[in-house]
Structure 1
Amino acid sequence: MRLITTDKYLPYIDAILVGYGKLVNLERTGKRGRPKKPYWEVPSELIYAMVKKHLSKGRICKVETELIFGTEEGLKNALKASKVSNNINTSFIERQNGTDRNRNSQKLRKTLSFSKELEEHELMTFFSLYSYNFCWSVGTLQLQDKQGKRSVKRTPAMAAGLTDHVWTIEEWIRFPTVQLC
């Protein structure tokens, strides 16, 4: 069972269908006319809910949630099984987007340092994301030492068990990559 939650940005629906769905091509009927168009089938284990924020004078006045794919029972089970949240929200991705804008000036709002080329934008996004995971210690991931103080700094990659130390940017850039495919 996979739970996905987003805000009401409508292109997410198509992106989720393409990413997780199965394209069903209908066979020709043998009759005259155009053949039926293929469509995306949603996997039964996919649960997708949307958070809709209503604004009044630039402030949030109402928040609604809507189940797009899946069943109410599946949604309840997914939220119950979640280790990080018991309601539909977008706080994790919003926090990541805030961090991304903070670390990547090309994504700032109302700025002159916008990306002029899509490829450059994508490369900077990957650089920001992966260097964050290996080279940036996160306060909420710190471990307590024996005296009960939060002093052992950790990166997201350390918390996931991918590395044992905070990397420098130079070390991270110089590390040889191996393609495993």
Structure 2
Amino acid sequence: VETIQCIIFGDPKEIFKMLGTNSESYIGTSYAERINLTIRTSLARFIRKGMNFSKTMKMHQKAFDLFQAWYNFIKPHKSLRLEINSGNRKWFQRTPAMVEGITDHIWTLKELLTFRVPVQ
């Protein structure tokens, strides 16, 4: 029995460059499985078919888009926090959008829901 590593989508050179590895390196699935678990525990429509399932693909996509915005702009991630020792605060909480330089603060739900996307 053996495991065969095969990239299904994307250019292998770009993927290995993004991962910071070479073609002989092992590509683990831990990152993909971690985000899958986060999605399943955060969105009831991904758990099982029941009261919360999406009746149309359009609504399913909208629910997932809202989850992504919440996850990246509102929810502080413990692994991204910075240690500071200023008075009572020991940690500076950050979101993925803050780490990427997209925003400089943790958004509120009201701010997210009322944000107007600029027309390009």
8 Å CA contact 1:100, 1:129 repeated in 2: no
Cα distance in 2 for partners of 1:79, 1:177 equals: 28
Deviation at 1:67, TM superposition (A): 2.6
8 Å CA contact 2:45, 2:54 repeated in 1: yes
**Which protein shows a greater Rg?**
1
Of 110, 114, 119, 1:170 maps to: 110
8 Å CA contact 1:136, 1:155 repeated in 2: yes
C-alpha distance after superposition, 1:87-146 (max 9, x if no partner): 211111211121112221111135432111111101000000111100000000001114
Gap change, CA 1:96 and 1:179, over 3 Å in 2: farther
The two structures have a TM-score, normalised by structure 2, of 0.76
One-letter amino acid of the counterpart of residue 108, structure 1: I
Of 83, 92, 95, 1:155 maps to: 95
- For the aligned residue pairs, the C-alpha RMSD in angstroms reads 2.8
Of 57, 62, 65, 1:118 maps to: 57
Cα distance in 2 for partners of 1:172, 1:104 equals: 18
Cα distance in 2 for partners of 1:137, 1:63 equals: 40
Deviation at 1:167, TM superposition (A): 0.5
Would you identify which runs of 4 or more consecutive aligned residues in structure 1 move more than 4 Å? Answer: 77-80
8 Å CA contact 1:142, 1:150 repeated in 2: no
Give matches, 1:1-181, under 5 Å. Answer: 64-68=3-7, 78=17, 81-82=20-21, 87-109=26-48, 111-146=50-85, 151-180=91-120
Q: Give unpaired runs (5+ residues) of structure 1.
A: 1-61
Identity of aligned residues (%): 30
Gap change, CA 1:145 and 1:65, over 3 Å in 2: farther
Counting strand residues as a fraction of each chain, which structure ranks higher?
1
Q: What residue number does 1:37 align with?
A: none
Q: Give unpaired runs (5+ residues) of structure 2.
A: none
Deviation at 1:175, TM superposition (A): 1.2
Q: How many residues end up aligned between the 2 structures? A: 110
